Structure formats: structure tokens, C-alpha cells
Structure 1
Amino acid sequence: MKIESLLFGAIFVFLLIVGFIYALMTHFAEFAGGVPLALVAGLALMITTYLWVTGRRVGPRPEDRQDAEIHEGAGDQGFFSPWSWWPISLGAACAISVLGVAIAFWLVPIGAAFAIIGLLGWVFEYSRGDHSH
């Protein structure tokens, strides 16, 4: 994960520099450009930190080593629920929330309530019923 953390670190530095230059060019009077660039730089820093910490904890993957063989990356890469309907309901709830921001703000709490229900259903999908572990 060293390459990924370096990539997002470079994005962080680039956005920070561009945001500062933008703020200088507008004499710190316009907040519609410099502030979002700084916020996106902060998001890139969070991803950089996560990847760096995870890379130190997990160690080098086969993709990170020059002497790795193809068969070292074979096998299960994780568990993904094949027949889950919860992502669709969560996407619809997020669409309702965004529609509420664009059209009528009273839709936002309704979308947020559906999003909480969808997220809880997705997280606890294998903790109840026939598929419980």
C-alpha cells in the first residue's frame, strides 16, 4: 500500500498548494474555491493516513513486491454478499436525501431515516435469520 499512500499524499500536497494559490489570487475574498480545495485536500490526507497505517499493520502485499509471483495473489480477496438488496435501498435513500437538498428540505430527514434503516440492514444482514453466523 506504499504506492497508494504516496499517490494520495501527492494529491494532498497538490490540492493544498493549488488551494493556497487560488486563495492568494482571489485575495482571500472568495470562499467557493479555496475552501473546497482545502477540504478535498483534507479528505486526501485522511485516505493517505489510512493507507499508510494499514500498510504498516498488514505488511507488503504481493502487488508491492518486485519478486512476487502471480500465484501469491490467488485465493479469496474478501467476502461480498451476492444476493443483498440493501445497497439498492441505501442508494434510493441517498437519492431521496440529495433530492431533498435540491428540491424540498423536508425530504432530507425522510431520506436520512431510510438511509439509517438501509445501513443497519446491510451491516446486520448476516447477524439474523437463516444466514446468521
Structure 2
Amino acid sequence: MKVQGKMFLWLAAFILVIAIVYGVWSKEPAGTTALFLAFGLSVMIGYYLAFTARRVDQLAQDNDEADVADEAGEVGFFSPHSWQPLALGIGGALAFLAVVFGWWLLYFGFPLILIGLWGWVFEYYHGENRTQ
């Protein structure tokens, strides 16, 4: 995590320089504001990663002598047969298309997003008192 924290902090410094140069030369407020917001986000992510790196054990990516196999292992649980990401993807696509073609598309996209989120959150929940 130390590497990622340093990378984001260096990226933040670069974006700050670019934001200042862009703001002075272009005198355009929207792009300048976007660059300063990108600077702030990079600082937040970099600080979080650097702060977290001090509290966790050293990872293989922080060790110059490490092999690729040192980070091998279980990454997490991923549902092999979930249809919820498809519903979220279609709902999100319709919501973004609503910006282009008309807000009426949100009537179709928003329920799909809600159904997808509800299904994904409660996909493996079977209730407290369920009997087998």
C-alpha cells in the first residue's frame, strides 16, 4: 500500500501544477475547478492509502525481494451466478441515456437500478428464523 499511496500523492502534486498552469493560461473556470477537484480526490486517496499502510503488515508489493506467488491466495467471494449486475448495468445505461434522449427514460432505468441493488444486497440473505 505504500507504493499506491506515494503514487497518488505524486499524482496529486502533478495535477496541482497542471491545474495552476491551466487556470492561469486558459482563465476557464470549469476545467480549472475540475482539475482542483481531481487534486483533492488524489490527495484524499493517497493520504488514506499511506495512512492505512502504516497500520497493516507489509504486503508483498512493498517488499523488493518478493515474488509474484507471495500474494497468491483467496481474494474474496464472488457470486458465480448472479444476475444482479446485469440489471444494474441496464438500469445505469438507461439512466445515462436519459440525460441524452430524455428524462422519461428514468422511469425505466430507476426501477431496474433499485431492483438490481435490492437483489444484490439480499441475494444470500434467507432470514433469521428460516428453517431448512
Note the C-alpha offset of 1:110: 4.4
Matches within 5 A, 1:94-105: 94-105=92-103
Query: What letter is aligned with 2:47?
Result: T
- TM-score normalised according to structure 1 size: 0.79
Name the count of aligned residue pairs. Answer: 128
For 1:123 and 1:54, the matched residues in 2 are separated by 27
Going from structure 1 to structure 2, the CA distance change for 1:38 and 1:110 (only over 3 Å counts) comes to farther
For 2:81 and 2:26, the matched residues in 1 are separated by 51
Report the identity percentage: 40
Matches within 5 A, 1:16-27: 16-27=16-27
Note the C-alpha offset of 1:60: 1.3
Q: 2:62 aligns with which of 61, 64, 69?
A: 64
Note the C-alpha offset of 1:119: 2.1
- TM-score normalised according to structure 2 size: 0.80
Going from structure 1 to structure 2, the CA distance change for 1:55 and 1:34 (only over 3 Å counts) comes to same
Going from structure 1 to structure 2, the CA distance change for 1:109 and 1:24 (only over 3 Å counts) comes to farther
Paired position in structure 2 for 1:46: 44
Paired position in structure 1 for 2:4: 4
Paired position in structure 2 for 1:119: 117
Note the C-alpha offset of 1:91: 1.1
Going from structure 1 to structure 2, the CA distance change for 1:107 and 1:57 (only over 3 Å counts) comes to farther
For 1:40 and 1:82, the matched residues in 2 are separated by 35
Q: 2:85 aligns with which of 84, 87, 92?
A: 87
Q: Which structure 2 segments of 5+ residues have no match? A: none
For 2:16 and 2:108, the matched residues in 1 are separated by 36
